[in-house]
Structure 1
C-alpha cells in the first residue's frame, strides 16, 4: 500500500514538473516585443505558472 502511494506521488510530481517546464519553455519562447505587446513581465509569468502548477 505504501509503495503504491509512493509511486502515485512520484508520478504526480513528475507530471507537474513536466507541465511547469513546458510552460516555462513557452514563456521563454516569447520575444521581448511579444511581452511588450502583452504588457507582461517574463518573471511574473513564470511565477504565475509555478503557482498554477504547484499551488501556494
Structure 2
C-alpha cells in the first residue's frame, strides 16, 4: 500500500515535470517577433505555465 502510493506520487511528479518542461521549451522557442504578433510576454507566459502545471 505505501509502496504503491510512493510510486503513484513519483509518476505524477514525473508527468508534471515533463509537461512543464515541454511548455517551457515551447515558450522559449518563440521568437521576439512571434511574441509581438500575439502580444505575448515571455516571463508572464512562463509564470502561467508553472501555475497551469503545479497550481
Q: TM-score range by the shorter chain?
A: over 0.9
> In 1, Cα distance between the equivalents of 2:50 and 2:8?
21
Taking only aligned residues, the RMSD between alpha carbons, in angstroms, comes to 0.4
Residue 10 of structure 2 corresponds to 10
Which stretches of structure 1, 4 residues or longer, exceed 6 Å deviation after superposition? none
Residue 29 of structure 2 corresponds to 29
TM-score (norm 2): 0.97
TM-score (norm 1): 0.96
Give, in angstroms, the shift of residue 42 of structure 1.
Answer: 0.4
